[in-house]
Amino acid sequence: MYLAVPIAAIREVVPHPAALSAIPRTLAEVTGAIDLRGALVPVVDLLHLMHPGVEAASDAIAPAVIMVLRTPHGVIGVGVHQICGVVDLGNDRQTAISLIPGHLTASLGLISAGFVLDGRSGVILDVEALARLPGLIQGADRLVADSVKLAGGTATLTFGVGDHRFGLAADVIEAAVPACAVQPAALSDPLWMASVDYNGRRIPVADTLHLLGLGTCSPARTMATVVVRLNEGGRVALRIDAVQDMIRIRRETWLALDGFAIDEESLIAGVLDGVPPIFMLDGAALAASPVLANLARMEEGSDAELTDRARDDARFGGKRQPFLVFTLGQGQHAVPLEHVAEILPLDRLQSIAFEPGLSRFEGVIPHRGKALPIIDLARLLGVEGAQAPQFILIATDGSRSAGFLLDTLRAVERLVPHEVGNRRDAGGPDNLPGRVIITSEGKTCSVVDLASLIQDRD
């Protein structure tokens, strides 16, 4: 069942620790507390509260995250399984419900309305009613500087990245995802750091500091992110260190940049004075960013979600082209089929090997009256963990040919290539301009331009 909370009442979302800190149990539904940057925040077991006959949540259904809520008198935490997103639940989407008299939930008025989303039912939690629970301990809301506790204005999520703090309007945010394991990006790109699993999809993670022209984020195997909805319908996750607050900020309180732009797309629209100051991001500009729209094309999902390929083709404005998909190490790559002249099993060829490290080539093979150079594609691209090659792909640039060592072959598919970045900015080889494809299995593959590689061997 879905549980909805007004976004203005959400301070932040943090992972549920293995064990809660002990506090005086003045209320049966308070299971402990978390230490949130020096503030003690009591945690309420909502399952036990709304279903008094159910004991504390078992391990099988234990909450994965804690949603910290702001009340008129402080902050409290509630354990939930996951954050599903931000939706508009106006009066026209809410259903008045009546609870059985005498039930604790009814007597306290904890549920204000019901709703249905994606075929599943849900209820809206009245945070102020929750705060009125007899005996409920509330933590002091001392995590935010008084200078940013502003009445009215736009609901804004603030978060830290490196040495900087940022604010972004909640209406473009789909979810704040707690720190979790991420998947490496399919290719080395200065903007594309990784991909994060969210609601059955694999969302590309952008380097927030690189996007804003403020440096680069450190690579990591686990990342916290903010998932942003774009105007074209795609989604991108921004790398963050942690959510810091959810507050309302009036636009007129921003300090203007006086006509200067910090980043190329003018995504930073102003600064909110405070300690530390907050860079205020322009939500509309972020949602319309062509750079992020390109990156959003790398979103992956389940087979069922990827069956409508024609819709994606129209959305991305591309045309299908045939590609050969192959593996190098742990990753998949692709080459335009028009560059492929022939594929030969390596164990059936007589080759002349060169001394390792003394030549740009691994050796030569006699083939159709010519001596073709052999190139170790994995070593050239810096791919680690490559297996012993099994095939030689003979490629041509139109006038000359060369053989490239491959691990295994995957498939030939007609797919739409997408541009996701400028490899020159990444300091990578010029033969990888940042084109990728998404296979029918939902896997992202970098496109290797073998014709350019042959020309680079001059």
Would you say the CATH fold of 319-456 matches that of 2-131?
A: yes
Q: In this predicted structure, what is the pLDDT of residue 353?
A: 65
Task: Render pLDDT for 273-287 as a digit per residue (tens, 0 to 9).
Answer: 876 789 999 999 999
Sheet holding 192-198, edge to edge: 173-181, 222-229, 235-240, 201-206, 192-198, 183-184
Neighbours of 78 (CB within 10 A): 23
User: Is 80 exceeded by the pLDDT of residue 132?
Assistant: yes
Sheet holding 331-336, edge to edge: 408-415, 321-328, 331-336, 444-447, 435-438, 418-419
Q: In this predicted structure, what is the pLDDT of residue 288?
A: 94
Task: Render pLDDT for 240-257 as a digit per residue (tens, 0 to 9).
Answer: 998 776 566 788 888 887
Torsion angle of C-alpha atoms 149, 152, 155, 160, degrees rounded to 10 = -20
> Cis ω on the peptide bond leading into residue 336 (within 30° of 0)?
no
DSSP state of 441: T
User: Is 90 exceeded by the pLDDT of residue 216?
Assistant: yes
Q: In this predicted structure, what is the pLDDT of residue 424?
A: 40
Distance in Å from the first CA to the final CA of the chain? 63
Question: In this structure, which CATH number among 2.40.50.180, 3.40.50.10540, 3.40.50.10490, 3.40.1440.10 belongs to the domain 2-131?
Answer: 2.40.50.180
Using a pLDDT cut of 90, give the percent of the chain over it. Answer: 14
Task: Render pLDDT for 78-91 as a digit per residue (tens, 0 to 9).
Answer: 988 877 766 777 77
Task: Render pLDDT for 344-359 as a digit per residue (tens, 0 to 9).
Answer: 777 656 666 666 655 5
Q: How far apart are CA 232 and CA 229, in angstroms?
A: 9
Radius of gyration, alpha carbons of the chain: 27
Q: Is the pTM of this model over 0.75?
A: no
Higher pLDDT, 38 or 19: 19
User: Is 50 exceeded by the pLDDT of residue 341?
Assistant: yes
Question: In what helix (H) or strand (E) does residue 106 lie, and over which residues does it extend?
Answer: helix 104-108
Determine the residue type at 60: A
Task: Tell me the CATH number for domain 319-456.
Answer: 2.40.50.180
CA 270 to chain centre: 25
User: Is 90 exceeded by the pLDDT of residue 204?
Assistant: yes
Measured in degrees and rounded to the nearest 5, phi and psi for residue 315 equal: -65, -40
Q: In this predicted structure, what is the pLDDT of residue 199?
A: 74
Of 17-31, 214-228, 405-419, minimum mean pLDDT range: 405-419
Q: In this predicted structure, what is the pLDDT of residue 99?
A: 58
Q: How are beta strands 192-198 and 222-229 bridged, if at all?
A: unpaired
Q: Is 291 helix (H, G, I), strand (E, B) or coil?
A: helix
Q: How many CA atoms lie within 13 A of 311 on its CB side?
A: 7
Average pLDDT over residues 403-410: 83
DSSP state of 364: E
Q: In this predicted structure, what is the pLDDT of residue 98?
A: 64
Task: Render pLDDT for 357-388 as a digit per residue (tens, 0 to 9).
Answer: 555 677 887 777 778 888 888 888 887 766 77
Q: In this predicted structure, what is the pLDDT of residue 197?
A: 87
Angle at 240 between CA 74 and CA 259, to 5 degrees: 95
Give the residue carrying structure tokens 């192959």: 326
Q: How many CA atoms lie within 13 A of 304 on its CB side?
A: 2
User: Is 80 exceeded by the pLDDT of residue 227?
Assistant: yes
Q: In this predicted structure, what is the pLDDT of residue 307?
A: 42
Q: In this predicted structure, what is the pLDDT of residue 72?
A: 79
Higher pLDDT, 146 or 203: 203
Report the number of secondary-structure helices (H) and strands (E) in the chain.
10, 31
For the chain, domain boundaries: 2-131, 146-296, 319-456
H, E, C per residue of 189-203: CCCEEEEEEECCEEE
Range picked from 7-11, 68-72, 287-291, 400-404 for highest mean pLDDT: 287-291
Of 229-233, 268-272, 338-342, 385-389, minimum mean pLDDT range: 385-389
Q: In this predicted structure, what is the pLDDT of residue 302?
A: 43
Task: Tell me the CATH number for domain 146-296.
Answer: 2.40.50.180
Task: Render pLDDT for 284-318 as a digit per residue (tens, 0 to 9).
Answer: 999 999 999 989 988 876 433 444 444 454 444 55
- Here the tokens at position 378 are 């994995």
Q: How far apart are CA 71 and CA 9, in angstroms?
A: 7
Angle at 233 between CA 228 and CA 239, to 5 degrees: 20
Question: In what helix (H) or strand (E) does residue 39 lie, and over which residues does it extend?
Answer: strand 39-44
Q: How far apart are CA 341 and CA 78, in angstroms?
A: 61
Q: Is 335 helix (H, G, I), strand (E, B) or coil?
A: strand
Average pLDDT over residues 430-444: 66
Q: Which of 225, 222, 124 is nearest to 173 (CA)?
A: 225
Q: Which of 170, 231, 227, 219 is nearest to 197 (CA)?
A: 227
Q: How far apart are CA 48 and CA 55, in angstroms?
A: 6
